[in-house]
Amino acid sequence: MQARRASRELAFILFSQFDKKISNYSKENLDDIILKSVRILSSSASDELKLSLGALMDMKNKIDDYEAEHEINLNRPMEASNIPVPLPMTSDMTGRIDEMINVAEKALLALEIAEFATLESEGEVKNYAIQIAEAFQKNHEEIDEIIKKYSTGWDFDRLVKMDKDILRIAISELLYIKETPMKVVVDEALELAKKYSTDDSASFVNGVLAKVIVENGLK
């Protein structure tokens, strides 16, 4: 995983924990919340892995039961070991496997972010996440006005908070930090929307960012 991608994930979790006006947070407050965010990621990864392990055990038990109850093995002596039998349909397993793969991928991603944030020596991941938060702190009124302006037909106060936070992060990078290529910022904002928010979020986020890019002549 790239360090900047980990920073955006960490910034997203950081934004989700703000419980007062953003301008009221000090640098020390942000450091403390970053540490809490890493702990949340680690805990989330542990929970996801436990779910994945439970699903794998359920699948193994299902296969074992199916094998034991197959007519081939029912007719064998009690002391004899079961012999493998064909599964009736691959569709019986693929859905559950896809679900477990998704859970495992989320867990691995959370662990990677936590590792980046706690082990990398120069603090790049944490520092860039804080840089995003500080850029939003300094410009939060302008950024929220931009989101309101381009959220045509939407009531800003009723927007999903996750969508607002994703846009806040991306607009902070596009207009105030300006260190990352536009396409990378947009692509990773869409990935955050797909991962954390609703089915329609990626389209909404993309639409707002496209207007921001055109309005500001970004390339």
pLDDT in single tens digits along all 219 residues of the chain: 477 887 888 888 888 877 667 777 787 888 888 777 777 767 777 777 777 777 778 877 888 888 888 888 888 888 888 888 887 666 666 777 777 777 777 666 666 666 655 545 447 778 888 899 999 999 999 999 999 999 877 777 788 889 999 999 999 999 999 988 999 999 999 999 998 888 888 999 999 999 999 998 887
Contact present, 146 and 159 (Cβ < 8 Å): no
CA quadruple 129, 166, 9, 39: dihedral, nearest 10: 90
Q: By the 8 A CB rule, do 86 and 7 touch?
A: no
Beta carbons of 17 and 33 less than 8 angstroms apart: yes
Q: Tell how far CA 119 is from the center of its chain.
A: 20
**CA-wise closest residue to 35 among 128, 111, 117, 116:** 117
Pair 130, 31: CB distance under 8 Å: yes
Residue located via tokens 């960012």 = 209
| Per-residue confidence (pLDDT) for residue 206, from 0 to 100 | 93
- The Cα–Cα gap between 11 and 31 comes to 11
Instruction: Output the pLDDT for position 1.
Output: 46
Q: Domain spans of the chain?
A: 3-215
Q: Pull the structure tokens for residue 103.
A: 């859970």
At 121 the pLDDT is: 45
| C-beta separation of 100 from 52 below 8 A | yes
Burial (CB count within 10 angstroms: exposed 0-12, middle 13-18, buried 19+), residue 183 = exposed
Amino acid at 152: T
CATH of the domain spanning 3-215 = 1.10.940.10
CA angle in degrees (0–180, nearest 5) for 145-6-144? 5
Length of the chain counted residue by residue: 219
Query: Are 49 and 106 contacting, i.e. CB atoms less than 8 angstroms apart?
Result: no
pLDDT at 170 (0 to 100): 96
**Can you read off the two tokens belonging to residue 13?**
């979790």
